[in-house]
Structure 1
Amino acid sequence: MDNRLTELERRIAALESAADARGGARRRTAAGQAEATRALSELRAWRDWSDVAPALAALGNPVRLTLLREIVRGRATVSALSQVDGLGTSGQIYHHLRQLTAEGWLHTPTRGTFAIPSHRVTALQTILSALEGS
C-alpha cells in the first residue's frame, strides 16, 4: 500500500511539474477568466431575471430539497418517500412534488414514479455546488 501511494504521489508531482513548465497553470487561469467574462456578458444580456424566480423559489424549501435528494438516491415513489423522516404525510409530500413538477424540477416518466428531467440535472448540480459551504 505504501509503495502504491508513493508511486501515485510521484506521478502527480511529475504531471504538475510538466504543466507548470508549459505554463499550464497560467493557461488554465486565463481560460477560466475568459469563461467568466463570457458568462458575465451573457448575464448582462439576460433582460428579465424574474422569469426564473418561480423555479428558484421551488428549491427554497428544505423539504423539497430533501425530496429531490431522495429521488436522486432512488426513492422515486410517494410510498418510498414517505419512509423518509421529516417529509410529512403523503398529502404533504404530494403537495411538494406538485410544486417541483410545476416548475420543471420533476416529471413522471411512469405513473406514480418521479424523476429529475435530464435537462435539469446539471442545473440542479450547479446550483447546489455553487451554494455549498455558503
Structure 2
Amino acid sequence: MAETDTAAAIADLRQRVSALEAASGAGKPVADAPPAADGDAFWALTGLEARTGDDGGVLYTGSVLTPGGPVRWQYGATASELLADDWSAGTVATSLSALGHPVRLRLLQVLADRPASVAELRDLPDVGSTGQVYHHLAQLQTAGWVRQTTRGHYAVPPERLVPLLATVLAGGRTA
C-alpha cells in the first residue's frame, strides 16, 4: 500500500470514528437524572464544584423510604483526597470484595428492601445451603454491608443503604 493510500485510509477512519462519537454522544457529559425545576440537569454537580473548586470531588447522596422510615445520606470527598488514599488497604478492598459475588449481591438486594431470616434467604433461588448463606452473610457483615438484628435475622444498616445503592448505580445498572 502506498504512503498516500495509508494516509487516506487513516484520514477516512478518523472521520468515521468522529462521526460515530458524535452520533453516540461520546465525550459529552451525560445526565441520567431529570433536570431540576430550573432546567439544570447538573444541579448536584454544580453544587459540588462550587464547594470543591478546582480540585474537584465526588459526591453521593440519596433519600430512600424504607419500612423503618426515611433514610437520608450524603457523603463526599475531594478528588485529591480519594486519589491519595491506598485503595488496596483497609476497608475499601474488604468492602468491594464483599460485593464481588452474585449470591451476596442477591442477598443484599433482598435485605436492602427488608430484614430477613437466614431461612428466608436460603429459600431464594440459587443461594445454596444454610451454611453457604451464613458464609456469605459473614463476608457482608465483616464489610459492614449487613448487620444481625436478632438471632438469625439480618438487615442492611440504614447508614449503609444509600452507599450500597450508589455502588450498584456506579457498577452499571442492568435495566
**Given the two structures, how large is their TM-score scaled by the length of structure 2?**
0.56
Which structure has more strand as a fraction of its residues?
2
The runs of at least 4 aligned residues of structure 1 exceeding 4 Å deviation read none
Q: 1:96 aligns with which of 125, 136, 140?
A: 136
Q: Which amino acid aligns with 2:57?
A: R
May I ask how many residue pairs the two structures share in their alignment? 113
C-alpha deviation, 1:33, in angstroms: 6.4
Distance 2:44 2:112 in 1: 33
2:65 alignment counterpart:
none
Deviation at 1:48, TM superposition (A): 1.6
Show the counterpart of 2:81: 42
C-alpha distance in structure 1 between counterparts of 2:172 and 2:161, whole Å = 16
Structure 2 alignment gaps of length 5 or more:
1-34, 59-78
CA 1:76/1:43 → structure 2, altered by over 3 Å: closer, same or farther?
same
1:25 aligns with 2:37: no
The amino acid across from 1:59 in the alignment is L
How far apart are the structure 2 equivalents of 1:68 and 1:119?
A: 14
AA at the equivalent of 1:42: E
Cα separation, partners in 2 of 1:84 and 1:26, compared to 1, 3 Å: closer
CA distance in 1, matches of 2:127, 2:173: 24
| Segment drifting more, 65-74 vs 83-92 | 65-74
Q: Over residues 83-132 of structure 1, what are the superposed CA-to-partner deviations in whole Å (9 max), with x where a residue is unaligned?
A: 11100011111110111111111111211110111221111011001122
Deviation string for 1:42-88 (max 9, x for gaps)?
Answer: 323x4222221011100000000001111223361111111111000
Secondary structure at the counterpart of residue 84 of structure 1: coil
Structure 1 residue runs without a partner (length 5+): 1-15
Question: Structure 1's 62 and 28: CA in aligned 2 closer, same or farther, altered over 3 A?
Answer: same
Query: 1:75–1:81: 8 Å Cα contact kept in structure 2?
Result: no
Pairwise mapping of residues 109-128 of structure 1 onto structure 2 (< 5 A)?
Answer: 109-128=149-168
TM (normalized to structure 1)?
A: 0.71
CA 75–87 in structure 1, closer or farther in 2 if over 3 Å, else same: farther
The aligned amino acid for 1:48 is D
Higher helix share: 1
Q: What SS does structure 2 have at the residue aligned with 1:25? A: coil
1:109 and 1:115 in contact (8 A); partners too: yes
Identity across matched positions, percent: 38
Q: Write the letter of the residue equivalent to 2:113.
A: R
Q: RMSD of the alignment, in Å?
A: 2.7
